[in-house]
Amino acid sequence: MGATARRIDAAYLNALRLGPQRIGYPGIHLPVACRLEATGKARVLGNVVEVRP
């Protein structure tokens, strides 16, 4: 696993703890938002990510 993958994993786990966030800086980076949505842990509405409980 590369450094980029480790950063995405860390950001993914961090995003699960936090509430709704914006995509971009400061907020959730797009690859992390895509992964959250793909795993069903969140939904993306425009440029906002809402984590599902």
Whole-angstrom distance, CA of residue 13 vs CA of residue 6: 11
Q: Are 51 and 41 in contact (CB under 8 A)?
A: yes
Tens digit of each residue's pLDDT (9 = 90 or more) over 9-53:
888 888 888 878 888 878 888 888 888 889 898 898 888 888 887
pLDDT at 53: 75
State if pTM tops 0.85: no
